[in-house]
Amino acid sequence: MTNSGLWHHVVSRSLGLIPTLLMLITIAFFMIRMAPGGPFDTEKALPPEIRANLDAKYHLDEPLLQQYFRYLGQIVTLDFGPSFQYKDWTVNELIAQGFPVSLTIGGLAMLVAFFLGTLVGITAALRQNSGVDYSIMGVAMLGISIPNFVVAPLLILVFAVYAGWLPAGGWEWSFRHMLLPVLTLSLPVVAYIARLTRGSMIEVLHSNYIRTARAKGLPERIVILRHALKPALLPVISFMGPATAGLITGSVVIERIYSIPGLGSYFVQGALNRDYTLVMGVVIFYGVIIVLMNFIVDLLYAWLNPKIRFDENQ
């Protein structure tokens, strides 16, 4: 018995990454270029010669396809180019500045979502159809239904304005500053994971192999922890890929509301100001993260599922 199944899986999935990334870059590139108005239109009208120089310097006068391939070449060397909007900065520098912030909040939100969500979901499943179950699921439904840009202002109102315990926004590397953003960001994901876990756990608890485990006289605690937990959590692990995408999406709004200088804010500003390189940089950067995350989740799933891991007939 070998891990050959797993190996096959890794290789084939890795190869699949490339077309995905390529597509991502291409779509983003051509879309942003389609926007009417260029990066320099928003400023006060420039004299034509200066304009021509600028265009030449940033290669905006070249045919689109050429710009595309030039860009691809740059990407390969991980050079996202200079920002059009923030004149003295390169996109790499901007990303390096904004990313750690977004990563911290996003990463924490993901951890909270996973652990809190599964805990809550399992509790509900173990007390299926009880009052506890219904109330948990009701609250979870609320969590999914109320958009985070509604929850956030409300939380700010309560905790920052009225009670004064927490800051209303702004960024510092402190627990007090991170609490509300992380909480608000993770809320819909916690709710979704709770529902998912509950459904999955209920289904597993009805399966024949759980019946066998009980028939063997194992205490319920062992039946749940040893026999039911892993199968029940597999769909949740699969969900972590899309969950990452969701968290990244949500971060755009969260950063705006809480005035956090993360990557999402840069993106929105860049889009509004036609800062091509910045927008491209952020889209690709985030895209890569999502693709990587899906990849890791995929591998994790394959590793945990014996049928895939140990099956030589892939």
Partner 1 sequence: MALLNVKNLRVRFDTPEGDVHAVNGIDFHVNQGETLAIVGESGSGKSQLVMAIMGLLAENGEAEGVAEFRDVDLMQLSSHDLNKVRGREIAMIFQDPMTSLNPFLTIEQQMTEVVMHHQKLGKREAHQHAVEMLRAVRIPDPEERIRQYPHEYSGGMRQRVMIAMGLLCEPDLLIADEPTTALDVTVQAQITHLIGELRDKTQMAIILITHDLAVVAGICDRIVVMYAGKMVECGTVDEIFYEPQHPYTRGLLASVPRLDRDAEMDLHAIPGNPPNLLSLPTGCSFRDRCVEAQEACRQVPPLWRDEKGHMSRCVNKIPGGQIVDDQGEPA
Partner 2 sequence: MKINKLKSQNSNESGGTSAQAAIDDPFAAAFAQRDVPGRSLWIDAWHRLLKNRAAVVSAIIMFLMLMAVVFGPMISPWAADFTDWDHTASPPSLANGHWFGTDAVGRDILVRTLEGGRISLLVGLVATLVSLVIGITYGSIAGFYGGMTDRLMMRMVDIIYALPFMFFVILLMVIFGRNIILIFVAIGAVNWLDMARIVRGQTLGLKNTEFVEAAQACGVSDRAIITRHIVPNLLGVVMVYVTLTIPQVILVESFLSFLGLGVQEPMSSWGALVNDGAQDMESAPWTLVFPATFLAVTLYCFNYIGDGMRDALDPKDR
**Triad 242, 248, 252: Cα angle to 5°:** 145
Residue nearer to partner 2 on the CB measure, 27 or 50: 27
Rounded (10°) angle between helices 91-126 and 229-257? 130
Residue pair 210/227 in contact by the 8 Å Cβ criterion: yes
**Contact status: 1 vs partner 1 (CB under 8 A):** yes
The backbone torsions φ and ψ at residue 238, rounded to the nearest 5 degrees and listed phi first, read: -60, -35
Cross-strand pairs, 82 = 90
To the nearest whole angstrom, how small is the minimum distance from the Cβ of residue 66 to partner 2? 21
272: left (phi over 0), alpha (psi -120 to 50) or beta: alpha
Residue pair 2/298 in contact by the 8 Å Cβ criterion: no
As to burial, measured by CB atoms within 10 angstroms (0-12 exposed, 13-18 middle, 19+ buried), residue 294 is buried
To the nearest whole angstrom, how small is the minimum distance from the Cβ of residue 6 to partner 1? 13
Residue nearer to partner 1 on the CB measure, 135 or 212: 212
| Distance from C-alpha of 172 to C-alpha of 198, rounded to nearest angstrom | 36
Residue 307's binding partner, choosing from partner 1, partner 2, none, with beta-carbon cut-off 5 to 8 A by kind? partner 1
Residue 78's binding partner, choosing from partner 2, partner 1, none, with beta-carbon cut-off 5 to 8 A by kind? none
- For partner 1, the binding residue among 66, 134, 211, 314 (CB under 8 A) is 211
Residue nearer to partner 1 on the CB measure, 90 or 305: 305
To the nearest whole angstrom, how small is the minimum distance from the Cβ of residue 208 to partner 1? 4
Cα 208 from chain centroid?
A: 36
Q: How many residues bind partner 1 (CB under 8 A)?
A: 26
- For partner 1, the binding residue among 57, 161, 230, 249 (CB under 8 A) is 230
To the nearest whole angstrom, how small is the minimum distance from the Cβ of residue 1 to partner 2? 30
Residue 45's binding partner, choosing from partner 2, partner 1, none, with beta-carbon cut-off 5 to 8 A by kind? none
Residue 106's binding partner, choosing from partner 2, partner 1, none, with beta-carbon cut-off 5 to 8 A by kind? none
**Contact status: 231 vs partner 1 (CB under 8 A):** yes
**Triad 44, 45, 51: Cα angle to 5°:** 115
Nearest to 92 by CA among 77, 81, 101: 81
- For partner 1, the binding residue among 22, 31, 222, 225 (CB under 8 A) is 222
**Contact status: 219 vs partner 1 (CB under 8 A):** yes
Q: Identify which range of 10-18, 32-40, 208-216, 293-301 contacts partner 1 by CB under 8 A.
A: 208-216
Between the CA of residue 156 and those of 211, 212, 253, 265, what are the distances in Å? 48, 51, 14, 19
| Distance from C-alpha of 298 to C-alpha of 40, rounded to nearest angstrom | 43
Q: Identify which range of 46-54, 183-191, 222-230, 282-290 contacts partner 1 by CB under 8 A.
A: 222-230
**Triad 85, 87, 90: Cα angle to 5°:** 90
To the nearest whole angstrom, how small is the minimum distance from the Cβ of residue 313 to partner 1? 11
Residue pair 302/9 in contact by the 8 Å Cβ criterion: yes
Residue nearer to partner 1 on the CB measure, 48 or 217: 217
Contacting positions for partner 1 (CB under 8 A) = 1, 128, 207-209, 211-220, 222, 226-227, 230-231, 304-307, 310-311
